Structure 1
Amino acid sequence: MPLKIALTKGRVEKQVIPLLEAAGIDCSGLKQKNRKLIINTSDDRFQFILAKGPDVTTYLNSGAVDLGIVGSDILTEHRNQQSELLDLRVGQCQFVLASTSDFNFNQPGRKVIGTKYPLITQLYFESLGQDVEIIKIEGSVELAPLIGLADAIVDITETGRTLRENNLYVYDYLDQVSTRLVANRMSLKQHAGEIFELADQLEQVVEQGSASK
């Protein structure tokens, strides 16, 4: 039976494939997947299930997969219950508090904050001792302060380009984000050898990459 790995499709998938290949894993099926969502490696050691980030945590928690590769933003927002094994150091970005130029961070009164991450936002403002109203937004969070829906936003940014192009300014920096390797706790007991072997191989690749920078 192959180890089942839920891999966040899209940008994370593209950034992780070179790491997997450097660890000696055949990724030809992933690179030529067409519309397939389940891909086995040629040696049948691994089965990759391509999924949206939030679904990776659902699959992990239900025991449908042994491992997940997903962003730390999603792990935090979904209160990760499984075993985080490794920071893959790709998909790196930053949570920020941003708004228009006339936003006053220290102004008294209850602020309205737009975000895709209500839990992370709540924890951040609680740490500041501030009570805020949080509006969950699924699409372009940047719109919220521009159309008067919210006073400010909490979102992730890689380069800050989208914020700048929409005349938004960063008022504070929150947690950093990166892609993580996570194991289902039961799978970790049942397949410890195979899981730790993969984690060790990937860790060597990550460390070598960091050393070469």
Structure 2
Amino acid sequence: MDELTIAMPKGRIFEEAYELLVKAGYDLPKELDDSRKLIVEAPNERFRFILAKPMDVPVYVEHGVADIGIAGKDVMLELDRSVHELLDLGISRCYIATAGLPNTEMNPVTPRIATKYPKIASRFYRGKGEQVEIIELNGSIELAPMIGLADRIVDIVSTGKTLKENGLVEYEQIVDITSRLIANPVSYRLKQQRIRELVENLRKQAKA
């Protein structure tokens, strides 16, 4: 039986994906859930997990160091990597939205948009026929309108609690996000039977 190398992000996606795999009948080590290791073996299933940052998962899959991976649709839209998207797992539901200070207009000349999703933000505003300046940030995006760096932010919204706590309001929803199972094209050909079996097992759980 072929070993499968699976790239997974740490955090919420990992926790929900781990639960989905267990429910699908896979025998995974319990220490996988709280391990500080970056590579963890699941010998009973011939799985090898690479635990990575969310933005790195599609990179590992595209370059073939991982056969398959689990990545948020936000990451897929932003990075646009050459991988096969096999299944919407329906986990880690959230959406990307624009937000800013309440009752404020955008700069009429060149609005400034702060985000860690520059491609998604650019496509959104370009689609509306609006010319904006994109300011790329990696953390604490909510700060940007508060300190006058940007008119709006484009960011992931789950519950809206973080926006509210920082005095921001949501203006427009851009796209719904869930986590997807992705595959390296070559691995998909070479290990097709194993990967298809995994897809079907996860599909049943995703529907349930």
User: Which interval holds the TM-score relative to the shorter structure?
Assistant: over 0.9
TM-score normalised by the chain length of structure 1: 0.93
Match of 1:166 in 2: 166
| In structure 1, C-alpha distance between the alignment counterparts of 2:85 and 2:20, rounded to whole Å | 17
* Aligned-partner SS, 1:124: helix
* Aligned-partner SS, 1:110: coil
Whether the 8 Å CA contact 2:74–2:177 is kept in 1: the answer is yes
- For structure 1, list consecutive stretches of 5 or more residues without a partner in the other structure: 209-213
* Aligned-partner SS, 1:155: strand
Q: CA deviation at 1:24?
A: 1.1
Matches within 5 A, 1:103-142: 103-104=104-105, 108-142=108-142
CA RMSD of superposed structures (Å): 1.3
Match of 1:4 in 2: 5
CA spacing shift, 1:87–1:38, aligned 2, 3 Å: same
- For structure 2, list consecutive stretches of 5 or more residues without a partner in the other structure: none
TM-score normalised by the chain length of structure 2: 0.95
| In structure 1, C-alpha distance between the alignment counterparts of 2:33 and 2:131, rounded to whole Å | 49
Whether the 8 Å CA contact 1:91–1:178 is kept in 2: the answer is yes
Partner amino acid, structure 2, of 1:43:
N
Match of 2:73 in 1: 72
Match of 1:178 in 2: 178
CA spacing shift, 1:33–1:2, aligned 2, 3 Å: farther
Aligned length: 207
| In structure 2, C-alpha distance between the alignment counterparts of 1:29 and 1:183, rounded to whole Å | 25
| In structure 2, C-alpha distance between the alignment counterparts of 1:40 and 1:78, rounded to whole Å | 28
Q: CA deviation at 1:32?
A: 5.5
* Aligned-partner SS, 1:70: strand
Percent identity over the alignment is 40
Match of 2:195 in 1: 195
| In structure 2, C-alpha distance between the alignment counterparts of 1:205 and 1:102, rounded to whole Å | 43
* Aligned-partner SS, 1:26: coil
Cα displacement string for residues 11-38 of structure 1 (whole angstroms, at most 9, x for unaligned residues): 1111111100011111225545532111
Match of 2:101 in 1: 100
* Aligned-partner SS, 2:37: coil
| In structure 2, C-alpha distance between the alignment counterparts of 1:203 and 1:32, rounded to whole Å | 22
Deviates more, 1:28-37 or 1:163-172: 28-37
| In structure 1, C-alpha distance between the alignment counterparts of 2:146 and 2:49, rounded to whole Å | 40
Match of 1:211 in 2: none
| In structure 2, C-alpha distance between the alignment counterparts of 1:66 and 1:34, rounded to whole Å | 21
Moved over 4 A (4+): none
